[in-house]
Structure 1
Amino acid sequence: MKFKTALTAAAALTLATAAYAQVGPEVGATIYTADGAEVATIESLQNGVAVVNTGSHTGSIPANVLGEGPDGPVISVTKAQLDQLFADQEAQAIAARDAALITGATVMSTDNVEIGTITEVNGDTAILTLADGPLTLARDQFATNQTGALVVLVPQADLMAALNGAATAEVDAEVEASGGQ
């Protein structure tokens, strides 16, 4: 009888362990290589995408590339490889932004509202003309979305506040918080 109880307890523990392993990675967890080297920290998880920070770069990876290791999530690339991937992605994003940031380009807000047109680009600044008037923004306050459309990295309401006399420091803080490139 003791053997049967021990066997049942072992089976329950195995099922509990398997269920725990299927929970997946969690925000704040450190990601390791298979040999135990630290790679990154998970900053957020949403819709199957993990935003991770290597200490040098922050970027997104599919959450399903993370396996379960003895100390936490594992990934099959090194920190250097992940940093290079994120650097390449950043360079591609900047190139796409710069190609789209031209006179006459239509601009969308982060909340997917068409808000205006680029009327001038001078070095690291661009003039975005909205219905309420022109607004000069830094190049790094723009990006492109998945369809290649030019997007200003703040919601429409914040742009309107800037035009209506709100401190531009508030808009700059919003752009900084959104990870402006």
Structure 2
Amino acid sequence: MKKSLIAAALMGIVTVPATALAQDAAAAAAPELAVGTMVYDPQGGEVGSIEKIAGGNVVVFTGKNRATLGAASFVQGPNGPVIGMTKEQLDTAIEQAAAKADAAMAAALVPGAEVRSNDGVVVGSVQKIEGDNVFVDLAEEGAITLKKEHLTVDGNGLKLFMTAAQFQAAVSAATQASPS
């Protein structure tokens, strides 16, 4: 849940300053992005190392936090890839985004709240919350238990990380697998 929100928030924060580093398009070389490569700030300070690259996204580990940034957030510097934030600024941004995501989840995760699929279909409503378990009342299947980590929050409230069809298939499979 947090990772997708954090990644989305950070992509906007980091892209503009990093792009500003490229003083003219002709001089800006494509950044050399590879797992294990150190990422630097505009002053040449180490920010963290690249842990993973997938689908145009780059995961940078600062030693304290992980940030998923768009590949467009990087420019090539004299020592390697550069982003427009220092290690401290990136860590602060990650921690602030996580706190904001946690607060949004706490506000949305209440009994009676609708749970939607990621294609917008209401699949049930929150019955109760116990620790990391969220009991969701489904119209026909009864109640099921989800982990909080399977939910995120958007402008419409609680949302699953799957479509309604995928959710229904998972519920059906779990129902058939459990003893009657």
Q: TM-score, normalised by structure 1?
A: 0.63
> Does residue 52 of structure 1 match 2:92?
no
Could you tell me how far 1:93 is from its partner in structure 2? 0.5
Could you tell me how far 1:99 is from its partner in structure 2? 0.7
1:162 to 140, 165, 170: 170
Higher relative contact order (CA 8 A, sep 6+): 2
Instruction: Give the conservation status (yes or no) of the 8 Å contact 1:67–1:75.
Output: yes
Identity of aligned residues (%): 31
1:43 to 53, 70, 75: 53
What code does the residue aligned with 2:118 have? T
> Does residue 103 of structure 1 match 2:111?
yes
> Does residue 116 of structure 1 match 2:114?
no
SS in 2 for 1:18: coil
Structure 1 residues 125 and 118: alpha-carbon distance in aligned structure 2, compared to 1, 3 A threshold: same
Could you tell me how far 1:77 is from its partner in structure 2? 2.5
Q: Which residue of 1 aligns with 2:151?
A: 142
Structure 1 residues 40 and 84: alpha-carbon distance in aligned structure 2, compared to 1, 3 A threshold: farther
Aligned residues: 146
Alignment of 1:4-19 (within 5 A): 18=26
Higher alpha-carbon deviation: 68-77 or 85-94:
68-77
**Structure 2 CA distance, aligned partners of 1:112 and 1:30?**
40
**Structure 2 CA distance, aligned partners of 1:57 and 1:103?**
32
1:151 to 147, 159, 164: 159
1:131 to 139, 144, 169: 139
Q: TM-score, normalised by structure 2?
A: 0.63
> Does residue 77 of structure 1 match 2:81?
no
Structure 1 residues 140 and 53: alpha-carbon distance in aligned structure 2, compared to 1, 3 A threshold: same
Could you tell me how far 1:95 is from its partner in structure 2? 1.1
Could you tell me how far 1:130 is from its partner in structure 2? 2.4
**Structure 2 CA distance, aligned partners of 1:158 and 1:104?**
23
Structure 1 residues 91 and 123: alpha-carbon distance in aligned structure 2, compared to 1, 3 A threshold: same
- Structure showing greater radius of gyration is 1
Could you tell me how far 1:136 is from its partner in structure 2? 0.9
What code does the residue aligned with 1:43 have? I
Structure 1 residues 59 and 35: alpha-carbon distance in aligned structure 2, compared to 1, 3 A threshold: closer
Unaligned stretches of 5+ in structure 2? 1-24, 176-180
Could you tell me how far 1:63 is from its partner in structure 2? 5.4
